[in-house]
Chains A and B, each alone.
Chain A
Amino acid sequence: MLTDLYVFADSPVHRARPVVKIAALVVLCTSLFVCEGWTAVTVAGVLVFTGFALAGLGPRHAIVSVRPALWILAAIFAVQLYMTDVVFAGFIVARFVVLILAAALVTLTTRTSEFVDGILSALRFAPAWVPKAQIALAVSLFLRFVPLVRTALDDVREAQRARGLDRNIKAILVPLVVRILKTADEVSQAIYARSFD
């Protein structure tokens, strides 16, 4: 139930190591803010477009990635248009679109599990005071708990719908949180019983 945004394919972009992709993303984003202007945005745009083409991603993926940000982009465009001119407003919004697409390229071509493995293997090099085992356990508990919370939320909403209370935030969240805290205590006891600490 916990899906990632990965699009299955085999391409040089997919095969590149996550660290390399994130480093490239950071370089691209920083340079977009350092060298302001249409030239930088155009160059970055062409690079991102090439990446999309190489990875075999179509315009559909690009649209899906940009869509959640549309409202705020429109608001920013309107305010910039009011304060400056259409060229600058267009530049600010175009820069955001390129940034979003560049990040989407990394997300769409990298499995979450690769990232998580990356985090956990990076922990090996962490100094001794970092609670590595605890962090690793917290990450795996989190990955298990997100679908659990969603299921609990669906259950509670269904029960409250029968009472006509499914639009009542309080009637949904209070039983949800209390129920989840009960689960949390049970899981803690299970971990304690296995002498984790």
Chain B
Amino acid sequence: MTGDRSLVYIAIFAAIIGALGVVPGLTLPLGGGVPITLQSLGIMLAGVVLGPVRGAAAVLLFLVLVAVGIPLLPGGRGGPGVFLGPSAGFLIGFPIAAFACGVVMRLLRHSAVFPASLAAAIIGGIGVLYSFGIPGLAVFADLSMQKAAFLSLVYLPGDLIKAFGVAVIAEAISRGRPDALMSRL
């Protein structure tokens, strides 16, 4: 049973990540017109809820299907070219970020769900993700690391809000459907 349930959960979280990237109107009105979507919230949520391995698997499934041309990235982008664009570093960092979220969640398994998932989302979804995204932007756009970091800074307020949102959702799941919080099983 557990094997089957993991598979369905992996597929459904990949679908949540995909749906959150393209939904119009759920773009956060922040950062001076930068299109901030909820996609990275999906990445953090996959790691926090599913744990490291399943979380990373969900993100990988999503990325493979984006790479073969299903337009599920913000702005309706898809296809192999997205891994060669300015945000390639962030995309490559997605599965690792989800993995890191899951690891932090495991390490904090004895703390309350809300602070544990907030910490996991911030460390994995911001710390780890940016440490891949910023060098990626620097390489692909021929920028210095400082400039690339500065450009990425516009996403930080939105990502902090998203990390908070992940913690709220994880807390709600732990109360409403506790056995769905696989990182805690």
Chain A residues proximal to chain B, CB less than 8 Å: 2-6, 22, 25-26, 29, 67-69, 71-73, 75-76, 79-80, 83, 88, 92, 96, 99-100, 102-104, 106-107, 110, 112, 115-116, 118-119, 134, 137-139, 141-143, 145-146, 148-150, 153, 169-170, 172-174, 177-178, 180-185, 187-188, 191-192, 196-197
Contacts and interface: CB of A to CB of B under 8 A. Distances in A.
A2 B143 CA distance: 37
Given A79-B151, A112-B68, A177-B169, A182 B4 contact: no
B127 interface: no
B9 interface: yes
Contact of B71 (A4, A69, A71): A4
A188 to B, nearest CB: 4
A72 B148 CA distance: 11
Contact of B26 (A2, A92, A172): A172
Interface string B67-98: 01111101111111110111100000000000
Tell me the dominant secondary structure on chain A's binding face.
helix
A110 B173 CA distance: 40
Interface of B: 1, 3-5, 7-12, 14-16, 18-19, 23, 26, 28, 33-35, 38, 41, 45, 61-62, 64-65, 68-72, 74-82, 84-87, 140-144, 147, 151, 165, 168-169, 172-173, 176-177, 180
Contact of B72 (A83, A134, A146, A182): A146
Contacts of A106: 69, 79-81
A118 B65 CA distance: 12
Pick the 9 closest A-B CB pairs, nearest first.
A103-B81, A68-B75, A115-B68, A145-B15, A107-B79, A141-B11, A149-B19, A188-B5, A181-B180
Nearest to B57: A138
A29 B8 contact: no
17 contacts: A3-B71, A4-B69, A25-B80, A96-B85, A103-B84, A106-B69, A115-B68, A142-B11, A146-B19, A149-B19, A150-B23, A169-B38, A172-B26, A177-B172, A178-B176, A181-B180, A196-B4
A183 B85 CA distance: 35
B68 A178 contact: no
A185 B176 CA distance: 13
B71 to A, nearest CB: 5
